Amino acid sequence: VDLERIEVVRGPLSSVHGADALGGVIQVVTRGVAPDAPFHSRVRARAGRYHAGEVAGQASAGLAGVAGLSLGSALATSRDPHS
């Protein structure tokens, strides 16, 4: 994940983000993709004991100098050895 920053707002000031945000807000801000950025992709796979595994991928690119787009997905599985 391309994180730029994580902001934590506690208490009543968090109500700026919505009426249901009484206790606080955690806001995750990601890096933007420049409109002229070249295509970039990455894939990660992991395997472990007890049929545990994870596959994740991400792709990003600029869209004709107008906007930037980034897509990502992940899948994780594991099985309890005692079941």
Strand ranges in 1-83 using DSSP code E only, listed in sequence order: 3-10, 24-30, 40-47, 53-63, 67-77
Q: CA 59 to CA 26: how far, in whole Å?
A: 25
Tokens of 82: 């005692």
What pLDDT, in 10s, does the model give residues 49-78?
878 889 999 888 888 878 888 888 888 888
What pLDDT, in 10s, does the model give residues 11-34?
666 556 666 666 777 878 877 788
Q: Report the amino acid identity of residue 81.
A: P
Nearby residues of 30 by Cβ (< 8 Å), 6 or more positions away:
1, 2, 3, 4, 70
The SS3 of residue 14 is: helix
